[in-house]
Structure 1
Amino acid sequence: MVENSLADTERELRPRTAPQIALNEIAQAIGAQSSRDVDGVVASGICLNSRAIQPGDLYAALPGAKRHGADFASQAVAAGAVAILTDHDAAARLENEGSLPAGTPVLVAQDPRYAAGIAAKFLYGTTPDAPAMFGVTGTNGKTTTTYFLRSLLGAMGHKTGLIGTIEIVADEEVIPSVLTTPEATQLHGILARMRESGVTAAAMEVSSHAIEYRRIEGLNFKVAGFTNLTQDHLDLHGTMEDYFATKARLFTPEFASRGVVLIDSEWGERLAQVARDAGLPVVTLSTASAAGAVTADWTVTAVERSGLGHDFTLTHRDGETVRAHTGLPGDFNVANAALALTMIIAADVMPLEKLQQLLDAHDPLSANVPGRMEVVGHAPAAIVDFAHNPDAMVRALEAVRPGTEGRVIVVFGATGERDQAKRPIMGAIAARGADVVIITDDDPHDEDEQTIRTAVLEGTTNEALSMGAAAPEVFEIFPRAQAIKEAVRLATPADTILVAGRGHEVWQEVKGVNLPLDDRVELREALAARHDGGIDHTSVGETAPESPDNGTAE
């Protein structure tokens, strides 16, 4: 059942009309040597997963964390693979074992992961402008910025595509999303699928995992954009320096034609310089509140609140201006909108006067982004956001505070088997930024839920104890749906409820089992029950036993 599902998903990540490319041409394109004559052998796809093989595929057998893909080469051939692409040692082992059917070609490459991406590029016909790609990386803001980009590109008359955390879209067709950034072989297949649909421009999230695991091999972005860099994914990268170095790889001529970098932080300033040193043309952007020693090419000025969102002006160092509006709450969404707009300007595809007319007529920077500062209710205001790391938590809390007449109530947890150091940090941030803190579960994966909550609670409680009379109320309530109900029960019409951490996600992984859970649905239902008089006003869930002397429940 799982194997069928993987094969079905793989099929969706490819063009409907499979290419037919001679294997010897692919071998020549990637500089691979073949174990035997491949004349007459034709490939119609390429795949890294033996369980997702389609008939006619070239199977890329790559080293993995625990097993080598060559261990599954015979299964891949049985499923229809016409040849194997792998490294020298694995090819020798396959030859010695004799595990492959007689006559199975094996292509040998010095760097098979790189070769797989280039082979996919050649096989599926990827070019820099078919479609034109706009890539966004950074710790926070990638998803929102790509949605803004897609909205801008659509307003400009493009048929658009989107590749990201929430979904993959080719024009109006939604394709199942498997990773923030799919594997290189899948990406090139998706781009071919987009060309079939007439897509001329696409926006894509480029995660640090995608760069580290080389999922962007063979791609070149028309413009690459950088949002910010804050603590996250240190379980993969180890240090912030390594995290930065991974992000910086995108900003080279190999992967981009030009870059747009938000330089509101030292990381951004460094990245702009590193990219220039690598030979990449770079446009810099800053927000007026964060402008530092380095003068940016474009600066966000004249920011004014407008409803839940903001009006702002983008001002160039030579005096040119572009006026814009975003309907999404939060100063950080002004930065996301400004980055998307600057990336379009940097692409040099439309005069500023015409771009201004487009902005005035279509308001493209107010595009709805599922689970990103998504407003699901009023009186009390109720917002769901993906904030799942310290910086994102700060930004989300700062975004809701100015428009809240009453209290800010935050519901959040921490993900299991991920960067454990950020748990007490996020707990402390919640204590400083909210009036009521409800700690609950996120995705525990295979880790003990209580252990995770305790680490978050420690940070919250320690910070609350140092705040005296200003300390928030702190509760530990689980399961998560119950915590959301309690937040609604506690809220007055003047309060704001922020449910943070999961955003658009609709499954909660617990001990290997995916349980249905959508924060937006739970929040809407709790609000509906409140307005219908159906909220249970009895005590909900669990809290820590005693309140400290300052009146804060632990």
Structure 2
Amino acid sequence: MKLLDLLNGVSYQLLSGELEKEINNIQYDSRKIEVDDLFVCLTGFEVDGHNYANKAIEAGAKVIICEKNIDIKENDVTVLLVKEGRKALALMAANYYGHPTRKLKLIGVTGTNGKTTTVYLLKSMLEKAGKKVGLVGTIANYIGDTKIKSERTTPESLELQKLFKDMVEADCEYCVMEVSSHSLYLDRVYGCEFEIGIFTNLTRDHLDFHKSFDNYYDAKFKLFQRSKSCVINVDDDFGYRVLRDVEKLDNKEIKTYSIKNESDFKASDLMLKEGDIHFRINGEEFNSVLPGEYNVYNALGAVGAMSILGIDKELMRKGLLDVVVPGRCERIGYKYDIPYDIIIDFAHTPDGLKNILETLKGFTKNRLIAVYGCGGDRDKVKRAELGRIGTELADLAIITSDNPREEDPMVIIKEIVAGIKKSNYLAIENRVEAIKLALGMAEEGDVIVLAGKGHENYQIVNEGVIHFDEREIVDDILANKKK
């Protein structure tokens, strides 16, 4: 592709070299450079791409995009200065792949909790309406029924635009995607225009990255600046702030949803029946296989978006009844004919843990046992809160390890325990042993929830990433118990 075509829409200053060049590919990782590639120097939190510019040139790069002056040894290399490298990367990626989002209807979901479940509900409803749908999210990416491994909630702009292009080539009409605060702050979705943006909630998370709630909020709000229509949870305190701020913008269609406050889509008469949740939206009956009040909120966000698109309510109902969200209130171990239930859930924030425990308490006949920890190298303030919530809502909490990363797992556990005021807890560093203990003491009618890992099949420890799949661990424990 011609360099000038690649730079369409990008503000830059030519420092050296020529603009009349043919570019093979765009890269921001110097290890992937091939002859005639363009290299974008990104300033990261741990690595500065500017330090690898000459390495990229040695590998064959003919164009360097940088945010500051760098010493280039080769004379035939074009060097362009930009103010924001990530925005330039996003625009060039869109140019390179032919602006695929202009051929897709994008629905973005942002918030602390509920993003994953909501996009799966959206996909299910749209597919019931006969639409081919792509999905971008934490668990996996999908092009129709084809599953593609996901490395992060929202990919870097270069990989994201390639994924959009693949969706278009596979005749997808829609793409539903989780839009993380990181991706918004780091301009991974810069230049993407969304048909609909959905706001779920805002609770404590990622403050190690954003430093303050205002920064966290400002990152999330970028989605609604780029969305034609906005669907907002007004039972959430920050939802009202989103609503007020969106109302200041021009040409936005706004729909609200709630259970408590007045809204366009208000749920009432919530009732748990055999694990399903039955409820009404504006007086009309709905039923979801995903239990809990928090899943009613997720359903409301999806229903609000589908209503904007004109999808029939009966198709929405079918979508709610035919959806599986891996690692979200997922029942495992049942094939062993055990007299108790084992649930895995991704809940790793105080609000997420509160939601899953309150939901499971609704159909626990005996004891609710919670096994959970807290990730290392992240916001430490929420650790004590996780300790308090788990012991207040569960009959027994087993505090253990969860992706300790570079930290000492026992230090994290002690900080969780610091928030506990009751005595109904045990602390076991080894997560496998913690799960064994929970299953070993389980009685008829108990519900055991393994919280924090959900869909993940790995554990991040000081030595790196190791395989760790709670489904396999539970299977091994139960299979050995039968012997």
Q: For residues 252-299 of structure 1, give each alpha carbon's deviation from its aligned partner in whole angstroms, at most 9, with x where no partner exists.
A: 1xx2111111111211111111112133625343333x32xxx31111
- The question of 1:345 aligning with 2:333 is answered no
Distance in 1 (CA, whole Å) between partners of 2:444 and 2:58 is 63
Aligned to 1:442: 402
Per the TM alignment, residue 364 of structure 1 is displaced from its structure 2 partner at its CA by 4.1
Instruction: Give the partner amino acid of 1:266.
Output: D
1:61–1:86: 8 Å Cα contact kept in structure 2?
yes
Per the TM alignment, residue 512 of structure 1 is displaced from its structure 2 partner at its CA by 3.3
Distance in 1 (CA, whole Å) between partners of 2:187 and 2:319 is 36
Aligned to 1:541: none
- The question of 1:502 aligning with 2:458 is answered no
Per the TM alignment, residue 494 of structure 1 is displaced from its structure 2 partner at its CA by 0.5
2:112–2:205: 8 Å Cα contact kept in structure 1?
yes
- The question of 1:526 aligning with 2:483 is answered no
- The question of 1:264 aligning with 2:235 is answered yes
The verdict on how the C-alpha distance between 1:257 and 1:495 changes in structure 2, with shifts beyond 3 A counting, is same
1:136–1:142: 8 Å Cα contact kept in structure 2?
yes
User: Matches of residues 60-209 of structure 1 in structure 2 within 5 Å?
Assistant: 60-87=40-67, 89-90=68-69, 93-94=70-71, 98-99=72-73, 101-209=74-182
State the structure with more CA Rg.
1
Aligned to 2:270: 303
Q: For residues 411-459 of structure 1, give each alpha carbon's deviation from its aligned partner in whole angstroms, at most 9, with x where no partner exists.
A: 0011111111111110010110011110110011010111011111222
Distance in 2 (CA, whole Å) between partners of 1:280 and 1:389 is 35
Per the TM alignment, residue 343 of structure 1 is displaced from its structure 2 partner at its CA by 1.2
Task: Give the paired residue count.
Answer: 478
* Greater alpha carbon shift after TM alignment, 398-407 vs 117-126: 117-126
Per the TM alignment, residue 306 of structure 1 is displaced from its structure 2 partner at its CA by 3.2
Q: Equivalent of 2:413, from 453, 475, 478? A: 453
1:180–1:207: 8 Å Cα contact kept in structure 2?
yes
Aligned to 1:7: none
Q: For residues 167-209 of structure 1, give each alpha carbon's deviation from its aligned partner in whole angstroms, at most 9, with x where no partner exists.
A: 1112233223221111112211111121122221111111111
SS in 2 for 1:370: coil
Aligned to 2:188: 215
- The question of 1:314 aligning with 2:274 is answered no
Instruction: Give the partner amino acid of 2:331.
Output: V
Q: For residues 123-177 of structure 1, give each alpha carbon's deviation from its aligned partner in whole angstroms, at most 9, with x where no partner exists.
A: 2122544221111110001111111111112112122111111111122332232
Instruction: Give the partner amino acid of 1:358.
Output: L
- Give the root-mean-square deviation of aligned CA atoms: 1.9
SS in 2 for 1:158: coil
Distance in 2 (CA, whole Å) between partners of 1:148 and 1:418 is 29
Q: Equivalent of 2:344, from 384, 391, 394? A: 384
Distance in 2 (CA, whole Å) between partners of 1:43 and 1:306 is 60
Aligned to 2:17: 36
Aligned to 1:545: none
1:325–1:363: 8 Å Cα contact kept in structure 2?
no
Instruction: Give the partner amino acid of 1:190.
Output: L
Q: For residues 102-126 of structure 1, give each alpha carbon's deviation from its aligned partner in whole angstroms, at most 9, with x where no partner exists.
A: 3122232233321211111112122
Per the TM alignment, residue 24 of structure 1 is displaced from its structure 2 partner at its CA by 1.4
Distance in 2 (CA, whole Å) between partners of 1:439 and 1:166 is 25
The verdict on how the C-alpha distance between 1:130 and 1:306 changes in structure 2, with shifts beyond 3 A counting, is farther
Aligned to 1:327: 289
Aligned to 2:206: 233
Aligned to 2:313: 356
Distance in 2 (CA, whole Å) between partners of 1:154 and 1:344 is 12
Instruction: Give the partner amino acid of 1:509.
Output: I
The verdict on how the C-alpha distance between 1:66 and 1:426 changes in structure 2, with shifts beyond 3 A counting, is closer
Q: For residues 202-245 of structure 1, give each alpha carbon's deviation from its aligned partner in whole angstroms, at most 9, with x where no partner exists.
A: 11111111111121111111111011111111111222222122
SS in 2 for 1:459: coil
Distance in 1 (CA, whole Å) between partners of 2:122 and 2:178 is 11
The verdict on how the C-alpha distance between 1:359 and 1:136 changes in structure 2, with shifts beyond 3 A counting, is closer
2:135–2:176: 8 Å Cα contact kept in structure 1?
yes
Instruction: Give the partner amino acid of 2:305.
Output: M
Distance in 1 (CA, whole Å) between partners of 2:470 and 2:142 is 23
Distance in 2 (CA, whole Å) between partners of 1:67 and 1:477 is 35
Instruction: Provide structure 1 residue ranges, at least 5 long, that are not aligned to the other structure.
Output: 1-20, 316-320, 465-470, 535-554
Per the TM alignment, residue 476 of structure 1 is displaced from its structure 2 partner at its CA by 1.1
Instruction: Give the partner amino acid of 1:516.
Output: H
Q: Which runs of 4 or more aligned residues in structure 1 lie more than 4 Å from their structure 2 counterparts after TM superposition?
A: none
The verdict on how the C-alpha distance between 1:194 and 1:43 changes in structure 2, with shifts beyond 3 A counting, is farther
2:89–2:158: 8 Å Cα contact kept in structure 1?
yes
Instruction: Give the partner amino acid of 1:257.
Output: K
Q: Among the aligned pairs, what percent are the same residue?
A: 32
Q: Equivalent of 1:394, from 354, 357, 367? A: 354
2:65–2:85: 8 Å Cα contact kept in structure 1?
yes
Q: Equivalent of 1:409, from 355, 358, 369? A: 369
Instruction: Provide structure 2 residue ranges, at least 5 long, that are not aligned to the other structure.
Output: none
1:325–1:366: 8 Å Cα contact kept in structure 2?
no
Instruction: Give the partner amino acid of 1:372.
Output: R
Aligned to 1:515: 466
